[in-house]
Amino acid sequence: MLDAAVALIGQRGTAGTTLKEVGEQAGYSRGLAGYRFGSKEGLFGFVVKAVGEEWLRELTAVTRDKVGLAAIEAALDAHARFLAEAPEHVRAFYVLWFEAIGPRSTLKGVIERVHERRRRDVLEWIARGVAAGEIDPELDTGAVADHFCGAIVGIVYQWLVQPVDRARIEAMHETLKLTMRRLLPAHLPSEEYTP
């Protein structure tokens, strides 16, 4: 059922996807999808949660035992890989993500929580980088985290618009790494001059 929904969202978009087709493509009757999920929005919520958890597992795996810039770069690498291998799941996830911003969207809450979670992760990586002495403690970490999360959204947007241009997407991840290196200056830069 999940796979059918993901495939249809990828092909026809959310407006073009019907509960009837989802049910039938999954090998059931026309009515099952509506019955199980209550409504179209209910189905979409299920898809977002399922794929979101998939990504979360991936992310925690690659950032385990990493702090500061290393964690951020590992996360970016994993993200680029996730998009490049582009299982349709990710595409459906982000299509739903971007549509959830409208008013009256029941998905909004779910998406907001994912977003907030991302931000806290970034803050955590930075805080640990500060603790490890590799990042300046004076920094406005909230602003940097916001910029990072926003930039990710921007990259994904670009990817959804032109998924073909893989090199460009990877370049955007690299530019974001560079940006983060510039925004997160080393702690006690004077040490750089003591050989």
Partner DNA sequence: AAGGTACTTGCTTGTTTCAAACAAGTAAGA
Partner DNA sequence: TCTTACTTGTTTGAAACAAGCAAGTACCTT
**Which residues contribute to the site for DNA (CB under 7 A)?**
17-20, 23, 28-32, 34-36, 38-41
Residues of this chain, 154-173, that bind a second copy according to CB under 8 A: 154-155, 157-158, 160-161, 168, 171-172
66, 81, 108, 166: residue in contact with a second copy (rule CB under 8 A)? 108
Question: Of a second copy, DNA, none, which one does residue 176 interact with (CB within 5 to 8 Å by kind)?
Answer: a second copy
Q: Which residue has the tokens 């209550």?
A: 38
Question: Of a second copy, DNA, none, which one does residue 132 interact with (CB within 5 to 8 Å by kind)?
Answer: none
Residue 10 lies near a second copy (rule: CB under 8 A): yes
Residues of this chain, 120-159, that bind a second copy according to CB under 8 A: 140, 142-144, 146-147, 149-155, 157-158
Question: Of a second copy, DNA, none, which one does residue 60 interact with (CB within 5 to 8 Å by kind)?
Answer: none
Give the per-residue SS3 of the chain: CHHHHHHHHHHHHHHHCCHHHHHHHCCCCCCHHHHHHCCHHHHHHHHHHHHHHHHHHHHHHHHCCCCHHHHHHHHHHHHHHHHHHCCHHHHHHHHHHHHCCCCCCCHHHHHHHHHHHHHHHHHHHHHHHHHCCCCCCCCCHHHHHHHHHHHHHHHHHHHHHCCCCHHHHHHHHHHHHHHHHHHCCCCCHHHHHCC
Residue 38 lies near a second copy (rule: CB under 8 A): no
C-beta of 60: minimal distance to a second copy in Å? 23
C-beta of 2: minimal distance to a second copy in Å? 18
Closest to DNA by CB, 28 vs 82, is: 28
Structure tokens at 169: 């997407």
Closest to a second copy by CB, 35 vs 157, is: 157
